[in-house]
Structure 1
Amino acid sequence: MSNLTPREIVSELDRYIIGQHEAKRMVAIAMRNRWRRQQLDPELRDEIAPKNIILMGPTGVGKTEIARRLARLSGCPFFKVEATKFTEVGYVGRDVESMIRDLMEVGVSMVKKEETQKVRIKAEKNAEERILDLLLPAPKSQTPAYANGSEYEPAPEKPKDDSTREKFRKMFRAGQLDEREIEMEVTVQSGAQVEIMSIPGMEEMGHNMQDMFSRMFPGKRKTRKVKIREAYEQLIEEEADKLIDMDTVVELARERVEQTGILFVDELDKIATRHEHGGGTDVSREGVQRDMLPVVEGCVVNTKYGMVNTDHILFIGAGAFHFAKPSDLIPELQGRFPLREELAPLHKEEFYRILTEPKNALTVQYKALLKTEGMDIDFSKEALETVAEYAERINEESENIGARRLYTLMEKLLAELSFDAPDKSGQSVMIDKDYVRNQLEEVTEDRDLSRYIL
């Protein structure tokens, strides 16, 4: 787990997210506390529960991005889910425990990728030998060592083949054989594709049934012609799978999910119950909250990879909370989200900083995209200030969608240049204030039109 200090975490988040300093500090402390917990004696470590967080604020102000970047910095399994997808047990829909199963899938995929990187050099070596075997087939009396599914071992060769094999090896490493086609066996989908409709709350049974059918009807292998470069990549994957112990991968993934997993539950405000109203929808929302409570509080969830304990998974809830409030959640669930922070809405100054400061700013992205066509574009300070001004104005006059407003404005601003870019290779274009106003004129002139701009 990453041992970045809170100050370093905030500094890294600042590279991608503008403003929201207090929210960044809160999540940075939460992540550092997880690292601190790992340094304690096991007896005390198990007693320290994570302090779950609720991030409140309108859409497009950075709630999801903060959580996603935080997971990347720490190298933790991370999964985002919308609370509105869940239904109370007994109704048709997803059950709350499915988010733990999804998080476990992310953890297994993450660990498997890491383990693949560890054995990649050996897998590449074995794949290279198999490519050479395909180029220079051994006599039929010789059976390749990997035919029984074990790790590849080169078949014994006659001395007279050495010079030819080494010549092919040099040509392959130099890329001279990449476009040459060879015949190799590939796995194709089995003929029996069975879709299992699971009973709500019993999705795990459906997964087990599908696994059983996949074992009963394994994928078939057939011979087809492929380019050597494509065959090489496929063989690397096959060899890496043979070198990886999946039992170890699952065990490591389970430990990582249980100790460092992060679940981002968006639209939490949509399942909050406003007590002055009654009715079926409120009953259903409260049922989802009650189903979510044991998962957040700490329980054991059955997954296809075994039992997963949720005691130390960090839950980050988020929502606009325009109409509902955190206090509208059932008291038991409120108590499981002790930390709350309200994110500030974005204004002209923040929009300008979003266009200029982040490492992945929209201006940087569009410059790189048009550079592929040989066109150089640049933006004047006044031009970007004008775009920021339009974004603020439209958000005020129509729905406030935060920084997402910039995506539509920038796309509309550069639509003409993007269309003509292949014909203007080698040209340089400076986008100034007047150009921005000309391109976005219809947006400002017709107030009704602005409400249709996403």
Structure 2
Amino acid sequence: MKHYKFKIKLNTSLRCSVCHIYKKKIIKILQDYRQYVCINCLIKIFFLYKIYFHFNSFKKERKDTKLFFTPKNIKYYLDKYIVGQEEAKKIISVSIYNHYKRLLLHEKKIEINKSNILIIGNTGTGKTLFAKSLSRFLNLPLAIVDATSLTEAGYVGDDVESILAILLQKANYDLNLAEKGIIFIDEIDKISKKNISNPSITRDVSGEGVQQALLKILEGSHVNISTQIGRKHPEKQIVSINTKNILFLSGGTFAGLEQIIYNRLNVYKIGFKNKRPTKNKYIFNNFKSEDLITFGLIPELIGRFPIICHLHNLTKKEYKQILFSPKNSILKQYKNMFQFDKMDFLLTTNAINSIIKKAMKLNLGARGLYYICEKIFNIYTFYLEGFKHKTIQITKKVINQMI
């Protein structure tokens, strides 16, 4: 290795290579090349290098030992996109934070069990929106799959391993990134065991068979999958993916679960004078995992989801907030689409109340609002060229005529 010598020259004819000014005190750096630096520039370079080295070492140390977000940061981000569901937001924010602490401790060879999440709620309450918002916040690949299309291996339909192939595709075939991704299994209640009271002789390939096949993936193991989505073929490329660090979120409406809780609590009493109890929105406070077993899920699958949260039905106030408050609210989306055509619209207070009332009657949650708004604005979009004014006023009378 060649050693370079540093010499101080007092020749005034030499010029600094940094500031390009003739100086008395010039240091020759690298004897083989004619490069000179004055004392002032050398001091500046030294301090800049020291600051840069200190900042990088601090940044690296922080990245290795501490997360850049907290449960409050996650909840604050979720508040921008999801209206209400405060209790569910807190539960999911803490579980996501603990999941990433688990990933960091895993690098230090400290084993902590994985905490998958099961979300129970009616349609339009925000189950899928939770998964999408978390994926956006964590900047990780997200695979959303429908459990209704899954069947046991060897039968017509998608194998359970195909959900990992979808995640790998979402990660642009980056295996390391896919092994830290998120999988959201929607409609998981549709794979419940069929004919619980009267079991059939035929094999339940889309119910209990799928539940049994999911156990291995949810727990965490090395699974051989094809890089292409579809049926298995000997010529397809096989990749081994480790599901130990993949976070699984599952959601379902679980229609009839409320009735199971009522029956377990013996709410319905025998007698002529006993009236049928009204629906109680706090009934899920008495929820137990055994209710899911009665519904049709096997105990082994429930054990893979240690965190279970329930999403309540939306109130009238929350319907109104969904129209205006979120970052990508419904009316903001239509505003942007109308501005593309250099148009705008105004909704009266009575018109907004009418939209909310009609959406609540549909009992579809936020999807009901999309259905009503799509019906209204589609007609206006079709006749945009015929409007003389750039601002359209939508009243309650107009909405009642359209819907």
Q: TM-score, normalised by structure 1?
A: 0.60
Question: In structure 2, what is the equivalent of residue 361 of structure 1?
Answer: 329
Question: Which of 4, 14, 20 is the aligned partner of 2:79?
Answer: 14
Map 1:432-451 onto structure 2 (within 5 A): 432-440=395-403
Map 1:320-399 onto structure 2 (within 5 A): 320-323=253-256, 326-327=292-293, 328-393=296-361, 395=362
Question: Residue 341 of structure 2 aligns to which amino acid in structure 1?
Answer: E
Q: Note closer, same or farther for the CA distance 1:30–1:298 as it changes in structure 2 (3 Å cut).
A: same
Question: Which of 222, 231, 247 is the aligned partner of 1:314?
Answer: 247
Question: In structure 2, what is the equivalent of residue 287 of structure 1?
Answer: 209
Q: Tell me the CA shift for residue 426 of structure 1.
A: 4.7
Q: Tell me the CA shift for residue 425 of structure 1.
A: 5.6
Question: In structure 2, what is the equivalent of residue 266 of structure 1?
Answer: 186
Question: Which of 78, 91, 107 is the aligned partner of 1:26?
Answer: 91
Q: Tell me the CA shift for residue 408 of structure 1.
A: 2.0
Question: In structure 1, what is the equivalent of residue 129 of structure 2?
Answer: 65
Q: Tell me the CA shift for residue 105 of structure 1.
A: 1.7
Question: Residue 347 of structure 2 aligns to which amino acid in structure 1?
Answer: F
What whole-Å deviation, never above 9, does each CA across 1:100-127 have from its counterpart, x for those lacking one?
12211212x2xxxxxxxxxxxxxxxxxx
CA distance in 2, matches of 1:431, 1:350: 22
CA distance in 1, matches of 2:206, 2:358: 41
Matched, 1:4 2:69: yes
Unaligned runs of 5+ in 2: 1-62, 228-237, 258-290
Matched residue of 2:360: which SS?
A: helix
CA distance in 1, matches of 2:343, 2:144: 38
Map 1:18-167 onto structure 2 (within 5 A): 18-40=83-105, 42-45=107-110, 47-107=111-171, 109=172
CA distance in 2, matches of 1:22, 1:437: 36
CA distance in 2, matches of 1:417, 1:439: 11
CA distance in 2, matches of 1:271, 1:38: 30
Q: Tell me the CA shift for residue 265 of structure 1.
A: 0.7
Checking the alignment, whether the CA contact within 8 Å between 2:147 and 2:191 is kept in structure 1 is yes
Which structure carries more relative contact order (alpha carbon 8 Å, separation 6+)? 1
Q: Give the superposed CA RMSD.
A: 2.2
Matched residue of 1:54: which SS?
A: strand
The structure whose residues are more often helix, as a share, is 1
CA distance in 1, matches of 2:148, 2:377: 36
What whole-Å deviation, never above 9, does each CA across 1:42-100 have from its counterpart, x for those lacking one?
3444x113211110111111100111110111011210111121111221221111111
Question: In structure 2, what is the equivalent of residue 202 of structure 1?
Answer: none
Question: In structure 1, what is the equivalent of residue 371 of structure 2?
Answer: 408
CA distance in 2, matches of 1:317, 1:370: 36
Question: Residue 93 of structure 2 aligns to which amino acid in structure 1?
Answer: A
Map 1:200-219 onto structure 2 (within 5 A): none
Q: Note closer, same or farther for the CA distance 1:3–1:50 as it changes in structure 2 (3 Å cut).
A: farther
Which has the greater radius of gyration?
Answer: 2
CA distance in 2, matches of 1:42, 1:372: 49
CA distance in 2, matches of 1:55, 1:311: 21
Unaligned runs of 5+ in 1: 110-249, 441-454
Q: Note closer, same or farther for the CA distance 1:4–1:432 as it changes in structure 2 (3 Å cut).
A: farther
CA distance in 2, matches of 1:348, 1:66: 21
Question: Which of 276, 285, 297 is the aligned partner of 2:219?
Answer: 297
